[in-house]
Structure 1
Amino acid sequence: MTESVVFPQDRTCPYQPAPAYLTLAEQKPLAQVSLYDGRRVWAITSRDVARRLLVDPRISSDRTNPAWPMMFAKIAATVGDVEQKVMKVVTALVGVDGPVHNARRKLLIPSFTTRRINAMRPQIQAIVDRQLDELVAAGSPADLIPAFAGPVPLIALYRLMGIPEGDHEYFEKKSYQLAAGPDANAAYDELMGYMAELIADRRRHPGDSVLDDLLAERGSKGEVGEDLISTLVLQVAGGHGTTGTMISLSTFVLLQNPERLAELRADPSLLPTAVDELLRVLSIPDGVTRLAVDDIEVEGATIRKGDGVFFITSLINRDGAVHEAPDTLGWHRTTARDHVSFGFGAHQCLGQNLARITMEIALGTLLERLPGLRLAVPAEEIPFNPTAGFQVLDELPVAW
């Protein structure tokens, strides 16, 4: 193997792969990269090989395995009592394999179907309209992230999951503490207690939400264990951040591509394809982490048992063997949905239908209602933060 690139690396542009990854893109279908501690792991760069491996049972999602590759020294150093509690939430669905994962996922699938999410369109539209009303009333210029891009997917997800509107602020605060900071232990205990109380209340006063679906599935007195509550906490606490980031980053990119923007305004029917094309090109998560639990032969190379495997989405989604002119945006591209931004296989994101529809309604309504929308400062002055492998705009000042 040639000298490996250090992974992960910060992007110099929020919607382009890190410059050092360009050498990896030339080493299809896989290359080797080095982590912070010198451990060499595999980096998958080909779409076809990525899809093949993501459904291979020898590729594991079990984050409790001692051989699990850590991307950052800070994460590795915090694996203790706090991390173990948080790990219960993280591993509730996305961090388990086989029959356990299948059983938990099966419980949630009916609540996230295209039909169920499509039925929420009027509610999502009302959320978008309300946030835009408040944005316009507050006046131009404004930071689009706290005023619009952040709240819209959060409120939509909370409504779907059954979190009462008066508790949204509380749940968001505790979710943030769970993900970062010294209060993660206490936040975990509080959220588990909160969900237990909410479950008891919904048994007495049923509604129309994912939580109600699960309770109906288990009957009036069926046990709801810690694993299921952790799964619910994971879905609610972690499901809206990426969608909010996609709305803000998509707006940022569209305002710098006036021709593509004009096409969407002239023909809103292009929005569903545009959403997937933006998901493909922006690739806000740098990669998907996995662990090989057996030897795997891949295109002349051998991934050994215990090797870390990273699927670099920003390169996989721009595979020239799949997409013509892969670095450009095109609303008529027939391969727009051929990306791995939601993962692939058994662990593909359950909330992808909600994310797509929320993005479609949010971006479409924003462009329609604010035809004069523009960046309030030069693009190069807008700060972004590649936090833990995610590309996040710190703020998005706009005017109209």
Structure 2
Amino acid sequence: MSYPMTRQRTFDPPDELFDDPAPVRPLTFADGHQGWLVTGHAAGRAVLADPRFSNNPRRMHPLLASRRLPEGEVPPGFFLRMDAPDHTHYRRLLTGQFTVRRMNLLKSRIEEIAADCLDDMERQGPPTDLVRSFALPIPSLVICELLGVPYEDREQFQRDSSRLLRLESSPEELAATVGDLIKYVYTLIERKRAEPGNDMLTGLIGGGELNDDEIAGMGFLLLVAGHETTANMLGLGTFALLQNPEQLALVRDDPSVIDNAVEELLRYLSIIHFGPMRTATEDVTVDGTLIRAGDCVALSIPAANRDPGRFPDPAVLDVRRPASGHLTFGHGIHQCLGQQLARIEMRVAYPALLRRFPTLRLAVPAEEVPMRTDMSIYGVHSLRVAW
């Protein structure tokens, strides 16, 4: 099957990723030390699935570790940066909270949240910033539901969460915001001990296997991982669809394409643009290349998701494409725990937005949309739209 659409520079990874066809190639990091860059889909899966590659910053080169976590230390409960068996222990406890029943129950609440956001947009009228009025509130409020944030706290919780994505936020402001959110999670834990609810924090507390530091670390991980990436996908995905009107019309008018559309947008946009990072704990051969113990490996998810050996005509967007198998949610033991929730949010949000506002359009020229291009996340800082 071919996908005869034009290549669009705004959404494409750098050409340099494709200049060398080798799926594993040498990479010189900013401080001059040598490592490896993985761009092939099969090689990327192999690295992510191999326990001989560590995700712990303490095993990394100091420069890279400092970019991952301050002082290279892993906070209690922040199992995203741990290896087995610690990772296995924490993930098992949290997996029990991501039940199919809870995710199914959340779908109707997500539909309500999306409808409320759209009602507010309609009342306020165009133009509006879709990120602040739609893309950010939906995952932020869903996380409130998961963590059991009281209604009276949700407005402040959303404000603090949104500051994590603001273009104008300084490093000092971001650090202060992180501190405020972690303090709030501790406060919330105290409330849940006194007044248990039907939420994840209550479930983690009730299990009796974790102390407050561990629960707070897991709660903050849920907050960051649970709203930031989904918010970026909702904003950037809408931008991509607005630049591809035929694809937008399919998502708006044909309910049968939405599952494939979400997977294709995840593949096409990737949003995690540098990393994940791994360190070899022993000599490992990947796709014929010997990676020595102690070598750092950077994976390019956008390049892996544009690998023509895995996805035909990978540089074009087609929402009918069966794009399962992409690496946007990772692979192996660190594959995103909340991926099904993110999918539900996107499956609800995109059609709801496009059906409510069938004439949705950019309110600024595409080249003036402020893009988020920091070290790891690719997205839009704002997306001014009209209808």
The SS at the match of 2:58 is: coil
Q: Describe how 1:303-342 pairs up with structure 2 within 5 A.
A: 303-334=291-322, 336-342=323-329
- Which one of the candidate residues 291, 297, 307 is aligned to 2:285? 297
- Which one of the candidate residues 101, 104, 113 is aligned to 1:127? 113
Given that 2:57 and 2:74 are in contact with CA atoms closer than 8 Å, whether structure 1 keeps it comes out as no
Distance 1:128 1:89 in 2: 33
Deviation string 1:67-118 (CA, Å, 9 cap, x unpaired) is: 35629xxx55x97xxx24x944497111110111000000111222444212
Aligned to 1:208: 198
- Which one of the candidate residues 45, 50, 55 is aligned to 1:51? 45
Once the two structures are overlaid, the 10-residue window that deviates more, 224-233 or 249-258, is 224-233
- The alpha-carbon distance between structure 1 residues 390 and 187, as it changes in their structure 2 partners (threshold 3 A), is closer
Offset of residue 316 of structure 1: 0.3
- The alpha-carbon distance between structure 1 residues 223 and 149, as it changes in their structure 2 partners (threshold 3 A), is closer
Q: Describe how 1:66-215 pairs up with structure 2 within 5 A.
A: 67=61, 70=64, 83-84=70-71, 87-89=73-75, 92-172=78-158, 176=163, 181-182=171-172, 190-215=180-205
Distance 2:60 2:296 in 1: 11
Distance 2:100 2:311 in 1: 26
Offset of residue 185 of structure 1: 6.8
- Which one of the candidate residues 19, 23, 27 is aligned to 2:19? 23
Aligned to 2:258: 271
Given that 1:69 and 1:291 are in contact with CA atoms closer than 8 Å, whether structure 2 keeps it comes out as no
Is 1:387 the counterpart of 2:381? The answer is no
Segments of structure 2 that go 5 or more residues without pairing to the other structure are 1-7
Aligned to 1:4: none
Deviation string 1:277-296 (CA, Å, 9 cap, x unpaired) is: 10001011113111111110
Given that 1:142 and 1:398 are in contact with CA atoms closer than 8 Å, whether structure 2 keeps it comes out as yes
- The alpha-carbon distance between structure 1 residues 390 and 14, as it changes in their structure 2 partners (threshold 3 A), is farther
Distance 2:248 2:174 in 1: 41
Offset of residue 196 of structure 1: 3.2
Given that 2:204 and 2:210 are in contact with CA atoms closer than 8 Å, whether structure 1 keeps it comes out as no
**TM-score normalized by structure 2?**
0.89
Question: How many residues in Structure 1 have an aligned counterpart in Structure 2?
Answer: 375
Aligned to 1:32: 26
**TM-score normalized by structure 1?**
0.86
Distance 1:159 1:235 in 2: 12
What letter corresponds to residue 327 of structure 1 in structure 2?
A: A
- The alpha-carbon distance between structure 1 residues 23 and 113, as it changes in their structure 2 partners (threshold 3 A), is farther
Aligned-residue RMSD, C-alpha: 2.6
